[in-house]
Structure 1
Amino acid sequence: MEKQTTSHSYFYRNSLTIVFTTLFLITLFAQAITGWHQNNTEMQELGASALSFKTYLFSGHFISATFENFESEFLQMALYVLLTIGLRQKGSAESKKIGELEDVDREPKPGKNAPWPVKKGGWILKLYSMSLSICFAILFLFSWAMHFYGSLESHNAEQVAKHLPLDNMLSYLGQSEFWFETFQNWQSEFLSVASIVFLTIYLRQKGSPESKPVDAPHMETGK
């Protein structure tokens, strides 16, 4: 297919990022509003005072709920980036071809338009060649830590309202509450990846880079 040389607007050239970032901000705000009301209802039922919206944004309830979701998403992406290097699924649009080297496997070569780490070479290039998975791993670990912090703060806020002793980090790690929050998100992310890997074998979406061509055979691997 010939490349289109017509100039496009800034929005068109960046529309995927802009749309998803906008949706993220809208839903994050909606989560904050609804979470604020939910948390105040629960705390007032326990005899505690309601929080202002500003205070709620720094509360364990909001921090835990937010980073609990971030954590599972970044874990999903980190594993997806790493596991698709060596694992295959015959017929999937999300898998590299079986027994073939592809463009992503080639050794980087310095060039006029190559990123500066490629031109620099050495350990900088080595680090850059793994930068995507490293970034997702760092984001996952940070989100996990923030989820744990928020979950502990939220738990102890409830303990105070119930006139029960506070838990420290180690004792809370040994309880099921935090791990229940964690695993219920992780399993949903693993299911979503397994779904797109398998369903793209047999189903199509014309025009989407996440799908094989509509007329492609089922057992033709996509990448």
Structure 2
Amino acid sequence: MRDHGLMITNGALFLLSFVGMVLSGVRTYNEEQLSHGEPGVTLAGFLLTGDFLEATFENWESEFLQMGMYVVLTAYLFQRGSSESKLPGKHEPQDDDPRAAAPHPDTPWPVRRGGLVLRLYEHSLSIMFFVLFAASFLLHAVGGSEAYNDEQASHGEPGTTVLGYMGTSRFWFESFQNWQSEFMVIALMIGASVYLRERGSVESKPVAMAHSDTDT
């Protein structure tokens, strides 16, 4: 529990928040249905609605995009004095070529295998986030088009396809309103960590360290 407490706690907070989202979401959905003279749905039925898919994956896509971009950008860009940045002009262990590493039994298998497997593995963290982003982006479009078509049908208007929905301003508004908040928070974290501290946190520099120094 101590060795994995950070992941376990965040996983538990995710589950609690997700359950809260589902329970409050189905109630909100049914209230809207009843206000339009439409039947409500069960909890299981709500999980299959476009409203649920849209609400879930439009948020997930922004999180995966944020982290994927953050992983890539921190490999090449710097912010002097920030705990979120490597030190400009200094070689860091993360920059080492794994092909030059001495063989060791605990070395990850892709490093020992080499070739294309290693090429993919040395970028596997960003690849994972971008694949999850692409999947969430598509599911956002699928759920959003279903919710949009339901609204159109209730007003006697024609619906659209998933690709058609992806061409609407509504789809991009849903995406950009989430993306902008994610990049704003990351920029704030990078800049604030130059001057502010949180004793004991790996996301902070030592409290007594100078603002211009980077903790690496």
Instruction: Tell me which interval the TM-score lies in, with the shorter structure as reference length.
Output: over 0.9
Corresponding position of 1:191: 184
What's the offset of the Cα at 1:47? Answer: 2.4
> Which runs of structure 1 show a deviation greater than 3 angstroms over 4 or more consecutive aligned residues?
none
Corresponding position of 1:81: 71
What's the offset of the Cα at 1:39? Answer: 1.3
What's the offset of the Cα at 1:53? Answer: 1.1
Corresponding position of 1:33: 23
Corresponding position of 1:219: 212
Q: Distance in 2 between matches of 1:63 and 1:131?
A: 27
Contact 2:87 2:214 in 1 (8 A): yes
Gap regions ≥5 residues in structure 2 = none
User: RMSD of aligned C-alpha atoms?
Assistant: 1.1
Q: 1:120-172 CA distances to partner (integer Å, 9 max, x unpaired)? A: 11111111101001111100000100111111111111222222211222332
Q: Distance in 2 between matches of 1:177 and 1:212?
A: 41
Contact 2:33 2:40 in 1 (8 A): yes
Indicate which of 148, 170, 173 corresponds to 2:141. 148
What's the offset of the Cα at 1:177? Answer: 1.2
Gap regions ≥5 residues in structure 1 = 1-10
Q: Does 1:98 align with 2:88?
A: yes
Identity of aligned residues (%): 44
Aligned residues: 213
Contact 1:91 1:201 in 2 (8 A): yes
Secondary structure in 1 matching 2:94: helix
Q: Distance in 1 between matches of 2:162 and 2:120?
A: 34
Indicate which of 156, 160, 172 corresponds to 2:165. 172
Contact 1:69 1:185 in 2 (8 A): yes
Q: Does 1:14 align with 2:8?
A: no
Q: TM-score with structure 2 length normalisation? A: 0.95
Q: Distance in 1 between matches of 2:203 and 2:165?
A: 41
Indicate which of 177, 182, 196 corresponds to 2:175. 182
Q: 1:53-74 CA distances to partner (integer Å, 9 max, x unpaired)? A: 1100111111111111110000
Contact 1:43 1:161 in 2 (8 A): no
Amino acid at match of 2:83: A
Q: Distance in 2 between matches of 1:138 and 1:34?
A: 29
Q: Distance in 1 between matches of 2:167 and 2:58?
A: 18
Indicate which of 127, 130, 140 corresponds to 1:137. 130
Corresponding position of 2:33: 43
Q: Distance in 2 between matches of 1:66 and 1:128?
A: 29
Indicate which of 42, 47, 60 corresponds to 1:57. 47
Taking a change above 3 Å as real, the CA distance of residues 37 and 29 of structure 1, as seen in their structure-2 partners, is: same
Q: Distance in 2 between matches of 1:179 and 1:39?
A: 23
Q: TM-score with structure 1 length normalisation? A: 0.92
Q: Distance in 2 between matches of 1:53 and 1:160?
A: 23
Secondary structure in 1 matching 2:2: helix
Corresponding position of 1:4: none
Secondary structure in 2 matching 1:136: helix
